[in-house]
Amino acid sequence: MAKKRRKFTQCPNCGYTFEEANNYCPNCGQENHDLNVPVKHLIAEFFEGTLHFDTKAWRTLKCLILRPGLLTEKFNIGQRASYVPPFRLYVFISLIFFFVLALSKSTVTKQQEGATTLTPFPGVNIGSTAPDSLRNIDVAAVIKDSVAARLLEDSATAKLVNKAAALNTARKENLKWAELEAQVEKFAEGGEASKQKLLKNTSFMMFLLMPFFAYLLYLFYYKKRRNYVEHLMFSIHLHTFYFLLIIAAVVTAFIFPDLDLTGVVIFIMLLYLYFALKQVYKTSYVGTFLKLIPISFTYVLTLTIFLLGTLAISILLS
């Protein structure tokens, strides 16, 4: 749908007199469009410019939700003008996704501080008893006893040194754990700031996850001889649908707090991925299922690693 313009007769920037066909000033390049209008018009133009919020957007969302994989297939074969571009669609939906997450009720469980007791070095009392009399001394026996005593003393000293070194190492490890616990406690007590930082890092993590998942598809379907871009479009559309699904689940959970939708969401995710793989890669039902198992396992493992890494980075940077 063409953009509805409120045209000037003369350029406000350079004074050039417009012709009817001029959408931009031929002299300075400024757009021939009057922005001095009520706010509702600007909001409508924002949605139109960001996502072309018209029949194209509804057609795209309908195809994405109800026909798994079809939107990717149409993009790959060149039927693109009738649908919202994948990156633009992903950015818009992801903004809504993280906005909904930020507004949703989420409780941050504060871990109780574990008492870290640093084991002090035990006291070592080395005493020696001197004889009361030096009379009637057997010189050979004294020499023999003194050598044995020296060996015993050296052995005891070595044991004490080793024990002290081990205790010192344990003390340093305890200090490191104490510092880590302090970082976790600081992050947990950060409240809204920590939450926003985690959401920001998660959004960046998901952006990195998409091309990584596309590479996994490239490996699993290497024999199909598809370009990497085709797998990337599949990954973008898949994660866009997942965002929409989680948004719906979060809103539903907000309305019905006692309703647990975790199992339903996971089932829909797997079902959608199954039909999307079959639609795009043209494999049989059994072949698609056999591919779905390792792809799903690898994806869950990768997602877990990415999430743990994101949480660790958020804590260390707090």
Q: How far apart are CA 128 and CA 139, in angstroms?
A: 20
Token pair recorded at residue 233: 């479009």
Q: Are 98 and 249 in contact (CB under 8 A)?
A: no
Q: How far apart are CA 48 and CA 42, in angstroms?
A: 10
317 vs 176, 183, 197, CA distance in Å? 16, 9, 9
Q: How far apart are CA 234 and CA 288, in angstroms?
A: 15
**Ordered DSSP codes for 22-73:** -SB-TTT--B-----S-HHHHHHHHHHHHH-TTHHHHHHHHHHHHSTTHHHH
- Contacts by 248-252, CB closer than 8 A, 24 or more apart: 250/100, 250/101, 250/104, 251/100
Looking at residue 1, what is its pLDDT? Answer: 45
Q: Are 153 and 128 in contact (CB under 8 A)?
A: no
Q: Are 20 and 27 in contact (CB under 8 A)?
A: no
Token pair recorded at residue 189: 């007590």
265 vs 1, 18, 254, 256, 270, CA distance in Å? 35, 55, 15, 15, 9
The tens-digit pLDDT sequence of the chain (318 residues) is 445 666 777 888 888 888 877 888 888 888 887 666 566 665 666 666 555 556 788 889 999 999 999 999 998 888 888 888 888 889 888 888 888 877 765 543 333 444 444 444 344 444 444 455 445 555 555 555 555 555 555 565 666 656 666 666 666 666 666 666 666 666 565 555 666 666 667 777 888 888 999 999 999 998 888 889 999 999 999 999 999 998 898 888 888 888 888 889 889 999 999 999 999 999 999 999 999 999 999 988 988 888 888 777 777 766
